[in-house]
Structures are given as C-alpha cells and as structure tokens.
Amino acid sequence: MNTYSMYSPRLDSTAATRPDQASEGLNRLLAAAVVNQNFCNSLLHKPEVALEEGYFGERFNLKDHEKALVLSIEADNISDFANQIVEREHGEFEYRKVSGSSCWIPAEPAMVVMDSN
C-alpha cells in the first residue's frame, strides 16, 4: 500500500515579508472580489462604499496608503484592478533583503557606462 503525504510549510508570522507581496488586507480585498460578483462590482464602481461596508460586514485592514491606492484605481475588471495595484504599489523595483535585518530595500539599478571611444 502506497501512502503519500504533502509537506505544507508553516509560515512564521514574525518573518519579514517582501515589499512586492501584497498586504494581508489587500489579499483579502481581492479574494472577496473574486468570490463575490456583487462585492467585485462595488469595488470597481464604488470603492469607497466597498471599503466602508466591507465584505459581509468584515472590514479590510488596509494601511492609509493602501486605502488611497484602492480609491485611486479605475478598472473595468478585477484582473486590471489587481494589475494596477501591483504596478502602482511596487513599480519596477527589484528588492533585496538587508543582511541581518527584516528589512527589504530596492536594489540599486544597474549602472550603464558608455564608452565614448
């Protein structure tokens, strides 16, 4: 008899998250929009109402800049909405972890030097 087991790593809640990962509040907001068409329509067309009323009374724990970000997005569908969050929140930066710290900082862009010869 063959037995199979799945390894499911446990996440340390104190571990540093990369800046390019959406916050728990944004993740929950997007998940609610994916599973409920009425909430999705509210988020797309009346985001201030969606944030105020929450999803079945559950509010989203968003930081002030995340709330401002959500309110600034104009999208026709949830896919475009999510893409705009990623683009605006994280831009085109690559991040690196500061050694011995839980901080992430933007990696310095490569410097291009042109030879004048």
Residue 111 lies in a domain: no
pLDDT range class, residue 55, cuts 50, 70, 90: very high
For residues 82 and 27, give the distance between their C-alpha atoms in angstroms, rounded to a whole number.
10
Nearest to 102 by CA among 29, 15, 20: 15
CA 33/CA 77 separation, integer angstroms: 10
List the domain range (segments joined by +) for residue 51. Answer: 24-92
Question: What's the structural domain count of the chain?
Answer: 1
The pLDDT > 70 percentage for the chain reads 59
Asked, for residue 10, whether it belongs to a domain, the answer is no
Residues 6+ apart with CB under 8 A from 69: 85, 88, 89
Q: What is the DSSP letter of 107?
A: P
Cut 0.85: pTM above it? no
